[in-house]
Amino acid sequence: MDLRVSIKKNLRDFVLDVDFTVRDEIFALLGASGCGKSITLKCIAGIETPDSGEIILNGRTLFNSAKKINLPPQARRAGYLFQNYALFPNMTVAENILFAAVGTASEKLSKLKENLSRFQLDGLENAYPSELSGGQQQRVSFARVLTSHAEILLLDEPFSALDSYLKWQLELKLAEIFKIYGAAILVSHDRGEVYRLADRVAVMHNGTISTLDTKAEVFAHPKTLAAMLLTGCKNISPAQKISNDKLFANDWQLELTAKNIPDDLKFIGIRATAFEFRADLDENNFIAKVVQVIEDTNFFIVMVRVNGGKALRCEVDKNFWREIQAAQILLRIPSEKIIMVSD
> DSSP class of residue 107?
H
pLDDT bin (cut points 50, 70, 90) of residue 148 is confident
Confidence (pTM):
0.87
Q: Quote the percentage of the chain above a pLDDT of 70.
A: 99
Q: Which helix (H) or strand (E) holds 196?
A: helix 191-197
So what's the pLDDT on residue 262?
95
CA distance 178 to 195: 14
Phi and psi angles of residue 247, each rounded to the nearest 5 degrees, phi first: -140, 165
Closest CA to 136 of 147, 123, 120: 120
In the predicted model, what is the mean pLDDT of residues 40-51?
96
CA distance 49 to 216: 33
| CATH number of the 2-227 domain | 3.40.50.300
Report the range of poorest mean pLDDT among 24-33, 157-166, 188-197: 157-166
Is beta strand 254-257 parallel, antiparallel or unpaired with respect to 299-305?
Answer: unpaired
pLDDT at 182 over 70: yes
Number of H helices, E strands in the chain: 9, 20
Phi and psi angles of residue 242, each rounded to the nearest 5 degrees, phi first: -100, -45
Residues of the chain with CATH 3.40.50.300: 2-227
The pLDDT tens digits for 261-290 are 999 999 999 999 999 987 665 689 999 999
So what's the pLDDT on residue 24?
92
Closest CA to 226 of 245, 204, 243: 204
